[in-house]
Amino acid sequence: MARLEQIEGLMEQLGPVLDPLNVTAFPSEKAWGVQVDEDTAVLVDFDEEQGKLVLSCEIGAPPAGDRSKLYELLLRHNFHWDETGGSRLAVDGEGGTVVLLFDLPTEGLDVTRLSAVMRNFTDAARGWREIIARPASDAAPAAPDLSDQTIFRA
């Protein structure tokens, strides 16, 4: 199982490989903020006990109105873990921000895999951001196509 020092090393290596705008460490929380571009920030939390990194990205708050179709889409996405590699979507409160989450096992993790997962994760976040921003009156949105993002698969 990976130790904190190993994950800190991976996060230091990530900068030159992924080339984000910024990587900020929060050592007391075992977390890092990765500002990928102007609109996309990923929080990386290390759960040492469970041997995983938890990636999270705020997608945005859906427009006002009937959100039932959108919430149904989020639930369908969560149900199809076998197609999404286990990424999931959550809402942080009533009418709140949608958050994309992904658990990445740390066993055998190297900077190449971490960088690839981060790229696919941010691509998925961008796709979901477009869906979330649509007015509630639009036809039922389609989930982003993640079929080529096999790096999510364990």
Percentage with pLDDT > 70 across the chain: 86
Listed in sequence order, the DSSP H helices in 35-142 are: 68-79, 81-84, 111-133
CA–CA distance from 139 to each of 67, 69, 75, 80 (Å)?
12, 9, 17, 21
Sort 63 into a burial class: Cβ within 10 Å, 0-12 / 13-18 / 19+.
middle
pTM of the model: 0.87
pLDDT tens per residue across span 55-89: 999 999 988 888 888 889 999 999 988 888 889 99
Average pLDDT, the chain: 88
* Angle at CA of residue 12, ends 19 and 113, nearest 5°: 70
Pairing of strands 98-105, 52-60: antiparallel
Percentage with pLDDT > 90 across the chain: 68
Q: Which residues contact 74 (CB under 8 A, 6 or more apart)?
A: 89, 90, 91, 98
* Range among 16-25, 47-56, 139-148 with highest mean pLDDT value: 47-56
* pLDDT score, position 67: 86
Q: Which residues contact 80 (CB under 8 A, 6 or more apart)?
A: none
CATH class, domain 4-152, is alpha beta
Which of 9, 34, 33 is closest to 109 using CA atoms? 9
Q: Rounded to whole angstroms, how far apart are CA atoms 118 and 130?
A: 19
CA–CA distance from 112 to each of 18, 56, 68, 79 (Å)?
9, 19, 39, 28
Instruction: Examine the pLDDT at 148 and tell me if it is beyond 70.
Output: no
pLDDT tens per residue across span 81-121: 888 888 999 999 877 899 999 999 999 999 999 999 999 99
For the chain, the domains span 4-152
